[in-house]
Amino acid sequence: MSDSQSSEAAAGNTGPIRLILILVGVALVVLALVWWKGSGRQAARDTLIKDYGAEIEVDPIDPSAWVVMLKRDDLSDLVEAGALLAKMGSVTTLDLSDCPQLVSLDGLNQVQTLAVFLLIGGPELESMAGLTDLPNLSQVSIQSCPKLETSGDLAGLPKLEMLDLYGSTGLEAIDVSRLSNLTSLTLSDAAELQRLDIKGLPRLEQLYLEGCRSLTELTNLGDAKALTDLNMSTCHELSRLEGLSSLSELRMLDLRNSPAGSNLAELGTLGKLETLRMGGQPELIDLKPLTALPSLVELHIEACENLVNLEGVPASLASYAAFTYCPKLESLAGIERAKSLERINLAGCSALTDISALESLHSLREVNLGGCSKVSQVDLLLTLPELQIVQLGGSGVPASEMSKFQKKKPDVIFDFSGGGEF
């Protein structure tokens, strides 16, 4: 073999060797990066446990991710903690309920994998800054934060489905217009909130505004076509609910102590309504505005000072009916339409004298006549085949009658001890 042939053969042999060496080098670099990244994650985890009292668990839905709870009394923001959480890996749930000195959420947007954020009881929280540009965030619950005055910019939360700011008593402004995937919004007890626009929320199903005592404007309610639950209880300043009749999917409506319930005609258009709670509506004289509600099974009427009879009770009423503390209600005439009714509460109806209409309700299991001081005869109830409990505390029925009742209905409880709701 000539020298030139030997050189060519040697060169040919070095090619595969060089390739192998390159691949080995790349593998070593990758291993080094993996080790470095792993050690960085572990270091971040250790620091969170040591300096922030972190409790870390595997996400039950995604075993490759983490659920983290921080417990540090003097934590005021998340600038440093957020960086550590980002280094630790995929953190999907973060609970800061044991960080009572938290003032702002600055730094939270470093945790890009975050899906659920919880802060239950933040007495010092003033700002939600940092709660933005989190592409995977789907649930936010920030409750009982009295110093929180504004939601700030909630843009950059394309997957947010649930926002709960319950007990943010100082909240004055919130913009939810860009949360197009929102299905549940809770602003209960936001006593300083005066205006709310829910335009741009086509998927909204639940809206809880009870205790928003200063609310004067609720706009674009009629656009929330998917709404199933609406609680407006104790919204003292809201005089009208524009668009209520457009909520064809509504199942639950609470209008207790809210002037917005004064437009009774619109209630009759809610064909899928199953539960209705009303109270403090002087306009309500009888139940004729509710007659056309074909799906209503549960009805709460309390402290309606001018309710004089139950004419117009929906025939669908079956689960529960309460007509409590209605001072002018003397007769239950009309209730016989609800032939499948199982429970009725008449507590505190001090003028009630005639309960004869109950005799035809053969499905009744529970009757509350507590505080009905003018009801003195209840023998007709003894004919009801399904009867289980009768509350008579504060009624006109003497306790001495109990022995007679027990002889005729030994399996029925006759309670003379109180007069409250069951």
Q: Which residues contact 307 (CB under 8 A, 6 or more apart)?
A: 284, 285, 286, 301, 323, 326, 328, 329
Question: By the 8 A CB rule, do 336 and 314 touch?
Answer: no
Residue 386 pLDDT exceeds 80: yes
Q: Return the pLDDT at 155.
A: 84
* Residue linked to tokens 């309500």: 284
d(CA 313, CA 349): 18
Q: Return the pLDDT at 153.
A: 85
Of residues 132 and 333, more confidence is placed in: 333
The answer to whether the pTM exceeds 0.85 is yes
Residue 32 pLDDT exceeds 50: no
Share of the chain above pLDDT 70, in %: 90
Q: How buried is 229 (Cβ within 10 angstroms: 0-12 exposed, 13-18 middle, 19+ buried)?
A: middle
DSSP string, 344-368: EE-TT-TT--B-GGGGG-TT--EEE
Q: What is the dihedral of CA 55, 58, 59, 63, to 10 degrees?
A: 160
* Cα separations in angstroms, 329 against 131, 141, 160, 265: 52, 42, 47, 22
Q: Return the pLDDT at 5.
A: 53
Phi–psi pair at 386, nearest 5 degrees: -100, 5
Mean of the per-residue pLDDT values of the chain? 91
What digits encode the pLDDT tens for the residues 221-268? 999 999 999 999 999 999 889 999 999 999 999 999 998 877 788 898
Tokens of 243: 């668009």
Q: Return the pLDDT at 6.
A: 52
Band the pLDDT of 3: cuts 50, 70, 90.
low
Question: Of all helices (H) and strands (E), which one includes residue 66?
Answer: strand 66-71
Average pLDDT for 177-200: 97
Q: Return the pLDDT at 37.
A: 47
Name which of 115, 120, 104 is nearest 67 in CA terms.
115
Q: Return the pLDDT at 295.
A: 98
Q: Return the pLDDT at 129.
A: 87
Q: How buried is 204 (Cβ within 10 angstroms: 0-12 exposed, 13-18 middle, 19+ buried)?
A: buried
Residue 305 pLDDT exceeds 60: yes
Average pLDDT for 297-310: 97
Q: Return the pLDDT at 29.
A: 42
Q: Return the pLDDT at 80.
A: 97
Question: By the 8 A CB rule, do 318 and 341 touch?
Answer: yes
Residue 34 pLDDT exceeds 80: no
What digits encode the pLDDT tens for the residues 170-187? 999 999 999 999 999 999
What digits encode the pLDDT tens for the residues 113-150? 999 999 999 999 999 988 988 999 999 999 999 999 99
* CA 213-349-340 angle, 5° bins: 95
* Cα separations in angstroms, 272 against 161, 289, 295, 323: 24, 15, 5, 22
Which domains are assigned to the chain? 276-422 (3.80.10.10)
Q: Return the pLDDT at 22.
A: 61
Average pLDDT for 266-295: 94
